[in-house]
Structure 1
Amino acid sequence: METKVVILDLDNLDRTAIEDAGKVIRNGGLVAFPTETVYGLGANALDDIAVKKIFLAKGRPQDNPLIVHIADFNIEYLTTEIPEIAKRLMEKFWPGPLTLILKKSQIIPDTTSAGLNTIGIRMPSNIVARELIKAAGVPIAAPSANVSGRPSPTEVSRCIEDLEGKIEYILGGEKCDVGLESTIVDCTVEPPCVLRPGGITLEMLREVNSEIYIDPAIMKKPVGDFKPKAPGMKYRHYAPKAPLKIVQGDLQKTIAKINEIVQNYIDENKTVGIMATDETVNFYKNGIVRSLGSRNDISNIGKNLFEVLRGFDDLGVDIIISEAFEEIDFGVAVMNRLKKSAGYDIINV
């Protein structure tokens, strides 16, 4: 399959390209496109056959539901009930990186919802994403635009790397602003529950409802019955090709431990990647060191996380060692992705 790639100038949007991509969606094809979180791989959310193509292109498990992306607040036809808390969250955070879980209507195919009676819905703030949805004339089901299990793409080059020849169209824009997938809140339960942390933090959500809580299994390794409520969170996600280890604890002890680990691998003729920060990057004398950004700007660390992991894939390192981050505010989302990337291989110091 030939994949058409168009890189858009956000100051002067190519309407023809957006209309062409919208037509691909409308006709049952697949389009990769930017959002403020990560790049998405979209199909007509109401077309069972089109949605199945997403699972094939990504190699995605069939029991992992998709999020439906919309361009306006008219969602009554997609759901049987919109609880008051959902309306308040929509008013405050849409458009933006927030997905709401609601009871689905019959118009949503079981393939899109992975057989569940609920569906995740969000309105992206990215202008290209919303204009594409409008051009398609249908809601767009879209997971991240990468091979399943790999770090999500925050730059168009990674969509091309993973999906060229597998889908009809790739729309490119700027690097994604948030860099981590949307926050997911289940509004079908009381109190509402965060099933995946993201750019809309628990602290922000509690400004709307103080009882909203995070699924306690999100930050832990799934063991026995202690598993995340969201089906997709049980799978291996965001993982680089090389094994990843996290060193967690006092920062000075973390630096010393990472240097010790790195030296041991170097003695075994292994190539080591180190994920550091602006404040610590100069304390590592061996290995390939990359800064995620400043510890004083956790949002920037989240924005850079997946691309740094992808960069280590490019370099073919044998092992990656990462510093940990404080699990407050957006740091919860960063550590959620980092832990899953590492398969919960954590060294405490």
Structure 2
Amino acid sequence: MKKRGENVETKLFTVDEIDQAANLLRQGELIAFPTETVYGLGANALDESAVKQVYAVKGRPSDNPLIVHVSDFEMVKEYVTDFPKQTAALVSAFWPGPLTMIFNVKPAAFSKTVTGGLQTVAFRMPNNQQTIDLIKKAGVPIVGPSANTSGKPSPTTADHVYHDLEGKIAGILDDGPTQIGVESTVLDLTSSDGVPVILRPGAVTKEQLEAVIGQVAVDQHLISESEAPKAPGMKYKHYSPDVPVWIIEGGLEVFDQAIDWAFKNHKKVGLFADDQIIVETKKVNETFSFGQPSVESATKWLFAGLRALDETEIDVIFAQGFPETGLGIAYMNRLKKAANQKILKKDSIFE
């Protein structure tokens, strides 16, 4: 194995080769791993040199804290002594699963490369048996930002990871496509008033959380490029392909208006939409259908669709919006950041 920082051969590990992948993690190498949300870029969270390589490989700003992935709640107890009152109920209801929880940690429990200079750390137990086995065999918690070039659409298959990071990391544990398609809900349990705060929406919704623990607040402000975030994925522009993205709200009529406008301006168009929209809209240059007109399907295929369209010869992507309720909050959160908040509605710019 070549030294870290050099060009390496990136191996695709099967579920029968987890021992090999875990051994490389212990040695300080980077291994991408599957979860139910997106693929993560794993490094030993206790090895500062390995964690620094995560930032270098992704091109990620070092003020962004990293989520620490664990195999069980007992692992969290090694680093956190004072748990908020809601913790046990949240763990019982949502772990393993797409919920990340932020706790105050023991002094010097993790290096600043993990915490982003904060006194808090975000922990998650992913709902993927292969990755739980990987962490158990490695015997250490692992950091796990999305396994992609920073700012670009997150990877939902091993092929996406290989496309972005081939030659830069030691390996990828391949467990097929992810099921949810967007990153976990991040819940801050360290607020001074004791009310948990959602910093990043995900598949675990505010309503689901409140059914278990009562009042939950939502941080809706957009992090500027100069502001240090408390959780990943909070930047104003994020998850973005190279091709500009516009969100279409209002259905078939607005899609057709947007397509007319693009063609008049000599732009090649790609659509990310459901089957019906793609069949009934005016013909465009490229399409990616997420199938049924459901926010669950749109969310699962969002990053894959943006990546696929970005690889084609188009000038603009028009992507289907959904109401911001339930899972639609997480979907629109990612899509708005991919589009840099650009939304097209009926007659908005088409006169």
Q: Same fold (TM over 0.5)?
A: yes
- The correspondence for 1:316, drawn from 313, 326, 337, is 313
**Equivalent residue for 1:85?**
86
Contact 2:100 2:185 in 1 (8 A): yes
**Equivalent residue for 2:336?**
339
**Equivalent residue for 1:273?**
270
Q: Distance in 2 between matches of 1:259 and 1:316?
A: 20
**Equivalent residue for 2:68?**
68
Contact 1:28 1:43 in 2 (8 A): yes
**Equivalent residue for 2:29?**
29
Counterparts of residues 106-121 of structure 1 (less than 5 Å): 106-121=108-123
Counterparts of residues 228-239 of structure 1 (less than 5 Å): 230=231, 232-234=233-235, 236-239=237-240
Q: Distance in 2 between matches of 1:223 and 1:143?
A: 20
**Equivalent residue for 1:242?**
243
The worse-fitting range, judged by mean Cα deviation, of 328-337 and 197-206 is 197-206
Percentage of matched positions with identical amino acids: 42
Q: Distance in 1 between matches of 2:93 and 2:233?
A: 26
**Equivalent residue for 2:179?**
177
1:215, distance to aligned residue in structure 2 (A): 1.3
1:6 matched to 2:6? The reply is no
In structure 2, the gaps of 5 or more residues are: 1-6, 347-351
Contact 2:224 2:235 in 1 (8 A): no
Q: Distance in 1 between matches of 2:331 and 2:268?
A: 25
Change (3 A) 1:245 1:199: same
- The correspondence for 1:210, drawn from 211, 214, 238, is 214
Q: Distance in 2 between matches of 1:348 and 1:33?
A: 39
Change (3 A) 1:267 1:224: closer
- Superposed CA RMSD in Å reads 2.0
Counterparts of residues 277-288 of structure 1 (less than 5 Å): 277-287=274-284, 288=286
Q: Distance in 1 between matches of 2:228 and 2:8?
A: 40
1:81, distance to aligned residue in structure 2 (A): 1.7
Residues 144-167 of structure 1: CA deviation (Å, up to 9, x unaligned): 000001100001111000001001
Q: Distance in 2 between matches of 1:204 and 1:111?
A: 32
The DSSP-based 3-state class of the residue aligned with 2:97 is coil
In structure 1, the gaps of 5 or more residues are: none
Letter of the 2:84 partner, please give it.
P
Residues 304-335 of structure 1: CA deviation (Å, up to 9, x unaligned): 10000001012132101112101111110000
**Equivalent residue for 1:292?**
290
**Structure 1 stretches of 4+ moved >4 Å:** 221-229
Contact 1:63 1:231 in 2 (8 A): no
Contact 1:7 1:173 in 2 (8 A): no
Q: Distance in 1 between matches of 2:257 and 2:228?
A: 33
Q: Distance in 1 between matches of 2:113 and 2:230?
A: 19
Letter of the 1:79 partner, please give it.
V
1:280, distance to aligned residue in structure 2 (A): 2.1
The DSSP-based 3-state class of the residue aligned with 1:315 is coil
Contact 1:3 1:170 in 2 (8 A): no
**Equivalent residue for 1:124?**
126
**Equivalent residue for 1:260?**
257
TM-score between both structures, scaled by the size of structure 1: 0.91
Residues 109-167 of structure 1: CA deviation (Å, up to 9, x unaligned): 11101111000000011111111101111000010000001100001111000001001
The worse-fitting range, judged by mean Cα deviation, of 167-176 and 286-295 is 286-295
The worse-fitting range, judged by mean Cα deviation, of 278-287 and 181-190 is 278-287
Letter of the 2:340 partner, please give it.
G
1:229, distance to aligned residue in structure 2 (A): 5.9
Contact 2:10 2:168 in 1 (8 A): no
Change (3 A) 1:7 1:271: farther
Residues 212-271 of structure 1: CA deviation (Å, up to 9, x unaligned): 122122xxx5579999764641253110110001122x43xxx22221221232233321
Contact 1:195 1:228 in 2 (8 A): no
Q: Distance in 2 between matches of 1:235 and 1:147?
A: 17
Letter of the 1:211 partner, please give it.
Q
Q: Distance in 2 between matches of 1:40 and 1:19?
A: 18
Q: Distance in 1 between matches of 2:230 and 2:19?
A: 38
Change (3 A) 1:225 1:44: closer
Q: Distance in 1 between matches of 2:225 and 2:151?
A: 22
Counterparts of residues 112-191 of structure 1 (less than 5 Å): 112-189=114-191, 190-191=194-195
Q: Distance in 1 between matches of 2:323 and 2:219?
A: 18
Report how many residues are paired.
335
Q: Distance in 2 between matches of 1:279 and 1:26?
A: 49
1:107, distance to aligned residue in structure 2 (A): 1.9
